[in-house]
Structure 1
């Protein structure tokens, strides 16, 4: 049996050291596994090698990579060729451990198995190997099978080498004890690297699951934001990829790695996480008078009281001697018509919209001065101060205080995200997510940042957030705008310092808006677009 000299041992130690460096720096599991197998083959001068990975249910060992120099075979790994060999069962039909297959035996007991000649071994079942040899005119002889387990003893793989060759004569020889010790050291090293990668992957999966948990909480709290939480990250990535592919102009130097993409995607998912602290009745306020319920119903009731009181007063007047019933009826009809008109006017005013005229606001104030008798018999103003404040809201359905409460979600988003111990490759998530309400001219919130103080990613998300909000049809307080109107508004935003004009140019030029519209907007909202008429864009 040929043992190694000092030079060969030193070479193997160098190979182990080199592999250690690669295991620490490479994060592609398949590349790592193939590198491990190749180093093991070279280290022992083996003709072939197989790397098994346990199945998800831990009942089988699946061939992951298969190499054989003599047969010129390379399956799995970087080859792109699927492995054709069947799986090795870890248990029999009765649920007992399969100890007849050498790979399964090594996996169950965590022990290496070194066989000098498989055709002379009677401990394991090599019928499958014999068929393999017959079909391919090959002769399997020496086997070295080494399990790979993590720090908790959980199997992560099995490394199997076949037919070690004498470096001088090329004759098949047994794997030496030194071979075995080196491969065991390599397998332990590889298991640590694989476990490290698996733990990182599990932590990333846990992080994404927690992010989705937050979004589920927001969605359950307010179903109107579900579309927004889903589509803003999607649109953000679409625009960011278009910027990444741009080879000219002010943004030609912007490029993203896969890690950058993951960071931006995560920021997109979390960009509104602060809304979990915003009261539901503010987030979902569909009308001006809505709180837990729409208080327009209370005002309708008051009108009914006024209509009833007017009728009762008219009837009492008719009972007076010499009453002019015709005149009383005419006066009653006029008063009741006026009351019904005012009731309808307040119903419309309650809906909210793009802008309430000053005359309409004054009319609400005039109606508020009417008097009515409440259930307690006390006379009071028709509208209380809070009702008057809400019904005279000029834009939308929120009061200034409620709008500040809504806007505070971005403060909470930043506060929540900055409190987390982000790893280095995700350290920009708070900045990306927290900047989507800033403006290029410094008039945004919460920090009043200017364009130069913001990353490209945050500026991209700002456009995605606005465009999705304009086109969304699921908001309780508005209908989704037509595509042309949304682009007109966004174009004006690019001219007045609200959004980045360079990013807006790419948004239009690369037709990101159209791709998103066809994928996610109602077809009825998608009208013909003349890009030459979009403000702030030069075809």
Structure 2
């Protein structure tokens, strides 16, 4: 019996709660936050500016140090270089590569030079930009400048980047205007063996600020390097907090070292020295430096005025390399520093005003919105009662209890719906691997787990292997992070339907938990382990779900119920997958047996599927042309795969002695040996006749000559017969006439030729002739003619539509008939027997109970010997009567046969030869011209060649010639 809940005291309508809370928040919080945020933002920005000053100071000091370190290393090498001992200009020019490498090692390095005790000087200056080249009046393309004083002669030599001379200018006045021995860097370095450094100054050549580093060599020569301080200008510009901020580095005497504003050196005027703070435009930095206490090193963030604007600024002490004291000044205009704070203040006041204006109507509508979810939840409950799970629960409410109720109802409805969905998905998913992933994804989503892992028992073994590991975002995790399957199975008590508990990353006896927990970013997790059992209650696998907190009992029962359905799906799909794998293995077994059956086929059955699928994929990828709309579904691809592998399965019925017939008389063995033995008998008969003639008194010389002449005729005749047996060249009518003449010769048989033979051959021989009997040297005897049985005939009204001319005999093994074959080694009966493999392929595949999506397999596999003009076999189909995939396989079969090099009876064609032959087949309407064009343009032939052809057979192909239409007439 339903009991209504007890009535609570002091209850108010929901719209009263909403109105009260809304006005309190707006009035109390809105106005105060607007004003407080401004003050706080201002203080925060000022604090950030102070912190920024310290960071800029440290970074500037660090960057200054990085300017000098590589230069010191370069000078250490140069004092040991032969340049220190060079006495002529030629010797110094040999050092140019080393000086250039020193310049390239440090972008801030302007020049490297050597000053000698006799006043000679050698300098390599980098022309960094167009301004340097204009200053030095350098020619176009100049990258370096040599300034040299040698033997009292001065010169400027301009070089390109490869140190080639562009111009050589004599400078007679240079030695008198410049003496390296009077320079400060020379004076400082002469007095010590250590590295020396000058104070910042303006370089005489480029008028840019910098310092000079110098070091004395053992010979007393001073090596120097000029370092530009422009890098510090760029660093200060990059560190400006606002567009109008100014940063400056200056020395205690207010001389400027670096400034964030461009063209500040113009303030130096014509005095030749560096400008002071008072010389800088705007006077901002001079005003800031004036606030620095006398004798003080730092100035905290202060406000000041300069140039008609309010500023905030600060000064920090900066130690430059060499221990010299300097200062870093930062100035930020107030209108930029506090722009964001003022914007936040104004925006907050505006938002507060708008909210106040909208308060009254909002309160009314909010109350109605709160009551609406309650009515919606009642309707959702009725839908669940009717088992209507089509639409999810979308009800939301600002009241927590109502919202919680809606969430619980949505969870319940979603759980039931997902339970049904999981059953539907697992029943409809054909791919086994995707089925496993979706099964875990759906389960993790419905129970709200952090991750899930599915273990399966593989191939009848007892060990549980992880097959899929998924997180709550439906993303795959590496299986290496899955805990050990047997350890997880041990978490389920014996006889229990599940196991629940808490595990730490370092739980003993459970290797692998740490890897998963590390990936999820946790140290401890709750688990729910549910075994998957088949219909015989044998273990199929295990599903383990991971939670932040231990799952409730109702959730555990739900997963246990779900596991039964999941186990059934896994078992069913596993059986289907195993059957497919068995069928695939059987297909490849047949193909491998066919290839292994004859060395003439090699890997044909394995390569044709690859090439067929490559051409089919090219057709699917075509964006234009006749195949722009060609597509293959997953089921179509399966049909293509099976058909390609089984396209020659009928060859299992083709005897090896026909496929491998290397000579005309070969069957199980080469019968040329029987004929040779007959010639041997005739030669013995000739010798016996000669001996009898000698015994009868014939003159020995004449008898010997007659014997040798007969032997020569017999040897020549046998050599001719043996040559005909090879079938290498076309045989002409004269050769056939000679064979017939040889065949008319006889030999004497004294033994019964019916002894020791099979009954079938005895029946074909007919009655025995009385012995001894004369027999023809070459003969087409009755036992050579093997009749075609009724099962070997193809009726005109056959159900497969075969239209092949069937020879009357099954085999014709007549010696004279085989030796008289016009070209090659095959008789008409032999060639039909080889071609008959495609008939057997179609008949065999048509007998298989293929499912609906594989019904096209016989048609695809059986069409690769058809021609586009209908002259092919076995059904004489035209292009329009064949599917595109069947036409693709015809091209693949021909191209593989042309390029194969694993066939002992022929040499494989070169790539260009094979493609030319294919083009002629296209011209004669043997292959599909549109597919051949795709074959060429998509480069499928070249991709195949790179994978399967020997490199020496892969040559250049004239694709334009292949695609050119055939000439008319």
Contact kept? 2:868, 2:926, Cα under 8 Å = yes
**Where in structure 2 are the equivalents of 1:179-218 lying within 5 Å?**
179-218=555-594
Counterpart position of 1:67: 471
Counterpart position of 1:371: 746
Separation in structure 2 between the aligned mates of residue 22 and residue 410 of structure 1, nearest angstrom: 41
Choose between structure 1 and 2 for higher RCO, CA contacts under 8 A separated by at least 6 residues: 1
Separation in structure 2 between the aligned mates of residue 509 and residue 63 of structure 1, nearest angstrom: 42
Partner SS, residue 58 of structure 1: coil
Q: Deviations over 1:298-351 (max 9, x none)?
A: 11112222233333334444555574x555555544443332222222222212
Superposition deviation, residue 523 in structure 1: 5.2
Q: Does 1:225 align with 2:601?
A: yes
Separation in structure 1 between the aligned mates of residue 641 and residue 519 of structure 2, nearest angstrom: 50
Contact kept? 2:483, 2:513, Cα under 8 Å = no
* 2:416 pairs with one of 13, 18, 24: 13
Contact kept? 1:286, 1:476, Cα under 8 Å = no
Distance of aligned partners of 1:296 and 1:524 in 2 relative to their CA distance in 1, 3 Å threshold: farther
Q: Does 1:88 align with 2:469?
A: no
Q: Which 10-residue stretch deviates more, 300-309 or 103-112? A: 103-112
* 1:113 pairs with one of 477, 499, 503: 499
Superposition deviation, residue 395 in structure 1: 2.8
Separation in structure 2 between the aligned mates of residue 248 and residue 314 of structure 1, nearest angstrom: 84
Q: Deviations over 1:275-309 (max 9, x none)?
A: 11222222222211111110011111122222333
Counterpart position of 1:469: 897
**Where in structure 2 are the equivalents of 1:400-419 lying within 5 Å?**
400-419=828-847
**Where in structure 2 are the equivalents of 1:329-344 lying within 5 Å?**
329-344=704-719
* 2:825 pairs with one of 385, 389, 397: 397
Q: Deviations over 1:364-412 (max 9, x none)?
A: 2232222222344422211111011111112322211222222222111
Separation in structure 2 between the aligned mates of residue 230 and residue 176 of structure 1, nearest angstrom: 56
Contact kept? 2:469, 2:482, Cα under 8 Å = no
Counterpart position of 1:513: 941
Q: Does 1:149 align with 2:539?
A: no
Partner SS, residue 224 of structure 1: coil
Counterpart position of 1:239: 615
Distance of aligned partners of 1:362 and 1:245 in 2 relative to their CA distance in 1, 3 Å threshold: farther
Contact kept? 2:845, 2:858, Cα under 8 Å = yes
Partner SS, residue 606 of structure 2: helix
Distance of aligned partners of 1:158 and 1:526 in 2 relative to their CA distance in 1, 3 Å threshold: closer
Contact kept? 1:66, 1:83, Cα under 8 Å = no
Q: Which 10-residue stretch deviates more, 355-364 or 388-397? A: 355-364
Q: TM-score when scaled to structure 2?
A: 0.47
Counterpart position of 1:452: 880
Separation in structure 1 between the aligned mates of residue 867 and residue 706 of structure 2, nearest angstrom: 57
* 2:735 pairs with one of 348, 360, 364: 360
Q: Does 1:422 align with 2:818?
A: no
* 1:313 pairs with one of 689, 701, 718: 689
Contact kept? 2:612, 2:888, Cα under 8 Å = yes
Separation in structure 2 between the aligned mates of residue 328 and residue 137 of structure 1, nearest angstrom: 109
Output the aligned Cα RMSD: 3.6
Contact kept? 1:156, 1:194, Cα under 8 Å = no
Q: Which 10-residue stretch deviates more, 386-395 or 257-266? A: 257-266
Contact kept? 1:34, 1:78, Cα under 8 Å = no
Distance of aligned partners of 1:421 and 1:389 in 2 relative to their CA distance in 1, 3 Å threshold: same
Contact kept? 2:587, 2:646, Cα under 8 Å = yes
Counterpart position of 1:52: 454
Separation in structure 2 between the aligned mates of residue 280 and residue 445 of structure 1, nearest angstrom: 22
Distance of aligned partners of 1:126 and 1:330 in 2 relative to their CA distance in 1, 3 Å threshold: closer
Separation in structure 1 between the aligned mates of residue 722 and residue 490 of structure 2, nearest angstrom: 76
Separation in structure 2 between the aligned mates of residue 195 and residue 326 of structure 1, nearest angstrom: 95
Contact kept? 1:222, 1:280, Cα under 8 Å = yes
Unmatched 5+ stretches in structure 1: 69-73, 91-97, 165-173
Distance of aligned partners of 1:369 and 1:129 in 2 relative to their CA distance in 1, 3 Å threshold: closer
Superposition deviation, residue 447 in structure 1: 1.4
**Where in structure 2 are the equivalents of 1:520-535 lying within 5 Å?**
520-522=948-950, 525-526=953-954, 529-531=957-959, 534=962
**Where in structure 2 are the equivalents of 1:261-280 lying within 5 Å?**
261-280=637-656
Superposition deviation, residue 127 in structure 1: 10
Separation in structure 1 between the aligned mates of residue 590 and residue 422 of structure 2, nearest angstrom: 41
Contact kept? 1:491, 1:537, Cα under 8 Å = no
Superposition deviation, residue 537 in structure 1: 6.2
Q: Does 1:287 align with 2:672?
A: no
Contact kept? 1:51, 1:159, Cα under 8 Å = yes
Bigger fraction of residues in helix = 1
Superposition deviation, residue 416 in structure 1: 1.0
Partner SS, residue 290 of structure 1: coil
Distance of aligned partners of 1:108 and 1:326 in 2 relative to their CA distance in 1, 3 Å threshold: farther
Separation in structure 2 between the aligned mates of residue 128 and residue 109 of structure 1, nearest angstrom: 25
Unmatched 5+ stretches in structure 2: 1-403, 752-771, 781-813
Partner SS, residue 64 of structure 1: strand
Superposition deviation, residue 207 in structure 1: 0.3
Contact kept? 2:532, 2:542, Cα under 8 Å = yes
Counterpart position of 1:168: none
Counterpart position of 2:722: 347
Distance of aligned partners of 1:61 and 1:269 in 2 relative to their CA distance in 1, 3 Å threshold: closer
Counterpart position of 1:158: 543
Partner SS, residue 380 of structure 1: strand
Counterpart position of 2:18: none
Q: Does 1:25 align with 2:446?
A: no
Partner SS, residue 545 of structure 2: strand
Contact kept? 1:110, 1:147, Cα under 8 Å = no
Q: Deviations over 1:182-239 (max 9, x none)?
A: 2223323333333333222211110011112323443454343342222222222232
Q: Which 10-residue stretch deviates more, 474-483 or 452-461? A: 474-483
Separation in structure 2 between the aligned mates of residue 127 and residue 251 of structure 1, nearest angstrom: 54
Which has more radius of gyration?
Answer: 2
Q: Does 1:431 align with 2:826?
A: no
Q: TM-score when scaled to structure 1?
A: 0.81
